[in-house]
Amino acid sequence: MSTAVESPPPVVEAPVRRAEALLRARELGIVVAIVVVFVLTTLHNHAFAKSGSLQQLLTGASIIALLAVGETLVIITRNVDLSVGSVVGLSAYLVGDLFVKHPGMPVILGFVVGTGIGLGIGLVNGLITTVTRVPSLVVTLAALYIVRGIDALIVHGRRIDPISVPKSYSVVGYKAILGVPWIAIIVTLIVVAVGYAMRSFRSSRELYAIGSNPEAATLAGIPAGRRVVTAFAISGALAGLSGALFLAEYATVDATAGNGYELSVIAAVVVGGVAIFGGSGTVIGAALGALLLNTINQALVASRISAFWDQAIAGGLLLGTIAFDRWLSLRIARSLRSAEGARRDV
Amino acid sequence: MSDTATRAPAPAPLPAKDGRSPMPLTGLIRWETALVGLLVATLVWASSESATFLNTTTFFYIGLNMGEIAIMALPLMLIVMTGEIDLSVASMLGLSGSVLGYLFQSGWSIYPAIVAALLVGAAGGALNGFLVTRLSLPSIAVTIGTLTLFRGLAEVILGTSTVGGYPLSLVKVGVEPIPHTHLSYSIGIFIVLAVVCGVVLHLTPLGRSIVAVGLQSETAHFSGIRVNRIKFGLYVLSGVVSAFAGILFTLKNSSARYDAGTGLELTVVAIVLFGGVSIFGGRGTVLGVVLAVAIVGCVNQSLTQLNEDPQVQKIVAGVLLLVSVILPNSRVALQRIRARTRRRTG
């Protein structure tokens, strides 16, 4: 008995290790794609490799990447959060408004308030979804409208101008240390922290279980409801924080801030290899997906391809990525199955 | 489904676990009744708030404002009934308008240009259908991709220019009601299409097949229903109808722009869901969607007449959507909460 425990049969472990390796390969694939796009564009236009434009790549991807982290947690549980764009808008304006009314406010409070606003909305989304068992797509679609409407009522045609945002706050949006923008450092730290948690913590592994098979997860004693609420709360909180960062980056906020972000975020998550029906994918992949999409957009600009082509190419690439991903996963499944078969034959 | 209903008429139809009653018709009638009640309430409220609400001009404008959205809601509803989704409808509206404008500008006469725009719609729908059925990719991801792609192509075709100058005989769809009525042309077309849709969905074998696909895709497949062919056909239909809505939209405004109808996709989805169509497929009626269109149109129009901030419309739409999905589920949710507290205390 004890020997069996000490040396678990290698048959079980081999596919696991292999699957893990493939997951890592997935992220590697995105990195390779980013590098290829980058090198090709630089060959075409040497200015693309300048540090200013590199910073632009990171800064431009930061907010979508941060939103993609929260969205990944929600999508892994087989749900979706469409309200993130509206939350960004509301949080950005309210934090800006706070600085207008209390100019001497400590800067850190801006981020705290932004995160808090998002956390509240995320909790409401999560609670409605789990208590009423209404599909999250519907709940968060309604939240998208309600939050955007409330935002527009509060904004009421006004605007936050750069002049009312404290210098020490907007520094986060444009200053860089060692060539890396502050905002990118913050987002990277969060991505790494959440990525680590998603690998190592029991409660976060349970999110995958819920997404793979909700009934089985509940039967296995996983508090699915609580976990899903937590996922929504984190997604909301990160969206609120993204709003605060939006204010720091652009320093101009009106009622349209964050409009339509939800679909860009889902696009980044899908490109990053997160299965839209839950159960698999990584936070780091999703963040890299956001970086890839932004790199492609910037590359189109730098290649002096008419800006009119941007969206069309982005859409084509998105479709290509999804299709390629499907082909890849089918191939992997087939090779895993034949490997399994070969072992069984022995 | 009908087999069990005829063989064993349940004495007291108990609600099933998901809030759906075992006999589908009773549950449906109840939801549509609620919508009728809501519509009447809206009309009473609107006419008490504004003495000028109940007149023919109002209804002409409601029709004019809702026409294209309502038309796109019909094929989308059928797609949702099969358990899929199409988020590219509003982008197709923009693309077909752009194709129409571009061809008209390059000297085509209007009718061939209209036919070409419709063909583009069919091609776009076929692309969606191909990716969803042949490559079995998730429709939400595919149609977010084509949403970007179609809008991008529209931008490539038309750039920032606007094209006007269409024949007056056609532009009148945006100014005049159908002769001898007070209906706008677009809503008149919607009514005809809704009747066709209703007959097909509720009275023909094809309609039963669509419901069957939505309820249990695999069972439908093994019962000899050509699941993929139906889904493919519906995507093509959605493309053509959205293209047609784009033509109406262009003629109504007498101008083609690449960004026409940006963001409308979620409005259309919201209307379909508000109409009682289940996002998981298999449940919904055309009548419900028609009532949803009427309610949203009346609410928006009355809020406009009351000079409310247009953003209030968004909040109202969101709340309506939320309430409409929570109410049918609330009894089950309450039961569950009660059972839980009983377990805790007892």
Helix locations, chain A, DSSP H: 2-6, 10-44, 51-76, 84-101, 107-132, 136-155, 167-174, 182-200, 202-212, 214-219, 224-250, 261-271, 283-302, 310-345
Report pLDDT for A19. Answer: 59
* Three-class SS state of A100: helix
Contact in structure between A298 and A53 (CB atoms under 8 Å): yes
* Three-class SS state of A252: coil
Residue type, A66: L
Q: What are the C-alpha distances in Å from A67 to residues A15, A173, A187, A275, B189?
A: 32, 16, 10, 17, 41
Contact in structure between A26 and A283 (CB atoms under 8 Å): no
User: Positive or negative CA dihedral for A150, A155, A157, A161?
Assistant: negative
Q: What is the pLDDT of residues B220-268, one digit of tens each?
A: 999 899 999 999 999 999 999 999 999 999 999 988 999 888 888 888 9
Q: Do B314 and A137 touch (CB under 8 A)?
A: no
Look over chain A and give the mean of its residue pLDDT values, rounded to a whole number: 85
Band of the pLDDT at A18, cuts 50, 70, 90? low
Band of the pLDDT at A21, cuts 50, 70, 90? low
Task: List, as one string, the DSSP characters of B2-32.
Answer: HHHHHH---SS----TTS--SSHHHHHHHHH
Residue in chain B nearest A80 by alpha carbon: B140
Report pLDDT for B29. Answer: 53
Contact in structure between B217 and B211 (CB atoms under 8 Å): no
Chain A CB contacts of B326 under 8 Å are 128, 132, 134
- CA dihedral angle for residue A92, residue A94, residue A95, residue A97, rounded to 10 degrees: 120
Band of the pLDDT at A133, cuts 50, 70, 90? confident
- CA dihedral angle for residue A160, residue A164, residue A168, residue A170, rounded to 10 degrees: 30
This prediction's pTM: 0.82
Contact in structure between B146 and B88 (CB atoms under 8 Å): yes
| CA contacts within 13 A on the Cβ side of B84 | 33
Instruction: Give the residue-averaged pLDDT of B217-222.
Output: 90
Contact in structure between A35 and A239 (CB atoms under 8 Å): no
Backbone phi and psi for residue B163, each to the nearest 5 degrees, phi listed first = -120, 125
Of A321 and A262, which is predicted with more confidence? Answer: A262
Q: Residue written as tokens 């956001």? A: A290
Helix locations, B204-285, DSSP H: 205-215, 217-222, 227-253, 264-274
Task: Determine how many CB atoms are found less than 10 A away from the CB of residue A45.
Answer: 14
Q: Residue written as tokens 């002096």? A: A304
**Chain A residues 133-162 with a CB less than 8 Å from chain B:** 133-135, 137-139, 141-146, 148-150, 152-153, 156
Band of the pLDDT at A75, cuts 50, 70, 90? very high
Of A26 and A221, which is predicted with more confidence? Answer: A221
Q: How large a percentage of chain A has pLDDT more than 90?
A: 36
Write the secondary structure of A60-87 as one string of H (helix), E (strand) and C (coil): HHHHHHHHHHHHHHHHHCCCCCCCHHHH
Q: Do B149 and A315 touch (CB under 8 A)?
A: yes
Alpha carbon distance B91, B86 (integer Å): 11
Q: Residue written as tokens 């809030």? A: B19
Q: Do A314 and B330 touch (CB under 8 A)?
A: no
Band of the pLDDT at B20, cuts 50, 70, 90? very low
Q: How far is A67 from chain B (nearest CA, A)?
A: 17
Report pLDDT for A235. Answer: 96
Report pLDDT for B16. Answer: 41
Band of the pLDDT at A25, cuts 50, 70, 90? low
Residue type, A190: I
Q: Do B333 and A148 touch (CB under 8 A)?
A: no
Q: What is the pLDDT of residues B118-169, one digit of tens each?
A: 999 999 999 999 999 998 888 888 998 899 899 999 999 998 888 888 888 8
Q: Do A277 and B156 touch (CB under 8 A)?
A: no
Report pLDDT for B15. Answer: 41
Q: What is the pLDDT of residues A269-312, one digit of tens each?
A: 988 888 888 888 899 999 999 999 888 888 887 877 777 787 78
Residue B111 C-alpha from the chain's centroid: 26
Report pLDDT for B340. Answer: 72
Look over chain B and give the mean of its residue pLDDT values, rounded to a whole number: 85
The partner residues of A176 in beta bridges, in order of sequence, read A181
Q: What angle do CA A201, A205, A211 make, to 5 degrees?
A: 155
Instruction: Give the residue-averaged pLDDT of B190-195.
Output: 95
- How many helices and strands, by DSSP H and E, does chain B display? 14, 0
Rg (CA), chain A: 22
Residue in chain A nearest B330 by alpha carbon: A132
Chain B CB contacts of A277 under 8 Å are 138
Q: Is the pLDDT at B81 greater than 90, yes or no? A: yes
Alpha carbon distance A97, B301 (integer Å): 32
Could you report the predicted ipTM of this complex, rounded to two decimals? Answer: 0.77
Q: What is the pLDDT of residues A135-184, one digit of tens each?
A: 888 899 899 989 999 998 898 888 888 888 888 888 887 777 877 888 89
Instruction: Give the residue-averaged pLDDT of A213-221.
Output: 89
Pick from A187, A205, A136: which is nearest to A291 by CA? A187
Of A134 and B342, which is predicted with more confidence? Answer: A134
What kind and span of H or E run contains B68?
Answer: helix B56-81
Band of the pLDDT at A107, cuts 50, 70, 90? confident
